[in-house]
Structure 1
Amino acid sequence: MKVEGKSVRRYRQISISIVLLLVILILGEVWCSSHWLIVRTYEYQSQKLESGQEINAVVLSDLHDHEFGEENAGLVTKVKEQEPDLILLDGDFLNEDSEDADVPCALIRQLKDVAPVYFSLGNHEVSYIENGHTDLDGQLEATGAVVLDESYEDIEVNGVQLRLGGLYDYAFALDGNDDAKNTPEPVKSFLEDYQNTDQLKLMMAHRPESFCFGNASSVWDVDLVISGHIHGGQVVLPILGGLYGGDQGWFPEYVHGMYQKDNMNIFVTSGLGSYHQLLPRFWNRPEIAMIQIHG
């Protein structure tokens, strides 16, 4: 009979311990990437604001029916702590196959008492509506949000006049060249009307691809596009960054943070959750984004 040596048993014990530790760390990080909210602050400077003027806008996106505590109490508390001037809900707050809109409606009811709430549609809201829930816009507005879908509002915040728009569709033609000059109607008419102002122009566009492809960033006069959709790349790898994102494919360029393309600035939040992805969010905390707009 062959007797196993002490060194072999010791090596095996260490190996098993290392594997168990790695499994615990991986599972812990997956949990954190689904439940541990983080607040990040981003700055956007505009010459359209005078020195000393500032607007603080909380941006939330891609909740996907997830709840941070009962009726999202944890999420609401964190948003309140930021004392925002505006709350921008940038799409995918439910799922295309959701039975109802209870989660986003309950969230809006609470957030409307914190600051004015504006909602733009994501791909899941669009599919949800196409699946027969044609009253979604009305439900969201009844609970206290202003829904912006190929529409805009001129508002004043802290003495600053700004135009806030919402657009889900692409701001260019699907003609093989992604040419914004050939943008089909009615999107083209909406954008031409929207940009006809000297005010600060913010555009809620769930997909950054709506403006970062082709020449849209040089054709359309938008100061700051505010997007989500990419989930921060879903899985974040050291050095390489986000793994995959929407129409941009593997290792997307516009994945998380503030970018400049031509004269347009594009902000992308990593969002709060995800849907049926092949991989869970990893190394990718659910994000409450605070954009500080100042002169």
Structure 2
Amino acid sequence: MGHLLKRRKRIFMAAGIVLAAVIAIAVFIKVEIYISYNSLEAEEYTISSDRINSEVKLALISDLHDHTFGEKNEELVQMLKGQGPDLILMAGDMINDISKDSHVAVELIEQVKDIAPVYYSLGNQEEDYIGRGTSDLLNELKEAGAIVLDESYQDIQVNGNAIRLGGMYDYAFALDGNNTTTKESMRPSLYQFLTDFQDTDSYRLMMAHRPDSFIFGDAAKTWDIDLVVSGHNHGGQVILPVLGGIYGGDQGWFPKYVDGIHHFKTLKNMIITRGLGSGKEKLPRFNNKPEVVIIHLEKE
């Protein structure tokens, strides 16, 4: 009888240990998910160029997906204000395609437009939102104070530097099976836009929501661009130690281009932000803090 009681005691102890471990893991996961949605951080990069004469400071944000950091995004606004950028770049997916309205993005623009000029390019969520006919999004963004660049560009002066700033959503190549960039294969207006965009002595900065728009096929060895800024892939959504982000849209599993800075042949620099939020993905953000990217452009 005593042997049986000891055996039962050991079973109960083992079960208790397993239960405690399961609870601890569940708590850890829940806390890490919360951090991955709410613990803002700033990531900084420096790029040198012979087209830059004096420093320009850019703030890049993307993929807010209607998320808020504090009431009316007060925490995000204060972080941007504290960084003191010369330009604020919003690189798409600031809303969701199923959003009832655009008030989160509009309120954010209204609050930060006095910090620095706000430039906004469209992501897939904005494209789908517009397609649903929910509201006149482009006009709402413009009235809030943003300059919307949709397959268009502006030539601007920032701290004595000439910058050509563009925005696009489409792929910078033809969907012809080979991802070519010839005039004959590409959509004519897109080919002309990219050709015109690169034809300048100004610093060429392109907002393209998807890094996928430039990394495939001939795009990154055809278009002569100094810097492309992107988001879209949420850093891979779930970031694993050593392995990195697990999924990246068109790039599939364990993608290479979902965050950080990358360099190509004619596309000199690409900076990809992990973004600020997440849509209704199959997995939540995990081990993946939301970020504001600060880019320092300096003289080479």
Find the counterpart in structure 1 of residue 265 from structure 2: 262
Match of residue 213 from structure 2: 210
Match of 1:239 in 2: 242
Output the CA distance in 2 between the equivalents of 1:156 and 1:121: 23
Give SS of 1:278's match.
coil
Secondary structure of 1:288's partner? strand
Supply the distance in 2 between the matched residues of 1:129 and 1:159 (Cα, whole angstroms). Answer: 36
Displacement of 1:4 in angstroms is 3.9
What is aligned with 2:32? 29
CA distance in 2, matches of 1:99, 1:8: 53
Number of residues paired by the alignment? 293
Q: Does 1:288 align with 2:289?
A: no
Rounded to whole Å, the distance in 2 between the matches of 1:16 and 1:139 is: 52
* TM-superposed deviation, 1:89: 0.2
Of 258, 263, 274 in structure 1, the residue corresponding to residue 278 of structure 2 is 274
**Unaligned ranges ≥5, structure 2:** none
1:9: Cα distance to partner?
Answer: 4.0
How far is the alpha carbon of 1:47 from its aligned partner? 1.8
1:13: Cα distance to partner?
3.0
C-alpha distance in 2, partners of 1:192/1:8? 72
Partner residue in 1 for 2:159:
158
CA distance in 1: counterparts of 2:135 and 2:190, whole angstroms: 21
Partners of 1:62 and 1:46 lie apart in 2 by 28
Q: What is the rounded CA distance, in whole Å, between the counterparts of 1:134 and 1:194 in structure 2?
A: 30
- Please give the alpha-carbon distance, in whole angstroms, between the structure 2 residues aligned to 1:183 and 1:49: 31
Secondary structure of 2:93's counterpart equals coil
Distance in 1, matches of 2:20 and 2:131, equals: 51
Residue identity (%): 49
- Partner in structure 2 of residue 3 of structure 1: 5
Letter in 1 for 2:294: M
Q: Tell me which amino acid in the other structure corresponds to 2:278.
A: S
TM-score, length basis structure 2: 0.95
Shift of 1:8: 4.3
Contact 2:223 2:266 in 1 (8 A): no
SS across alignment from 2:98: coil
Aligned residue for 2:169? 168
Distance 2:249 2:262 in 1: 17
1:16-44: per-residue Cα shift (whole Å, max 9, x none)? 22222111111100110011111111111
Does residue 252 of structure 1 match 2:250? no
Residues 167-195 of structure 1, C-alpha deviations (whole Å, 9 max, x = no match) = 10111100000001232121111111111
TM-score (norm 1): 0.96
Structure 1 spans left out of the alignment, 5+ residues: none
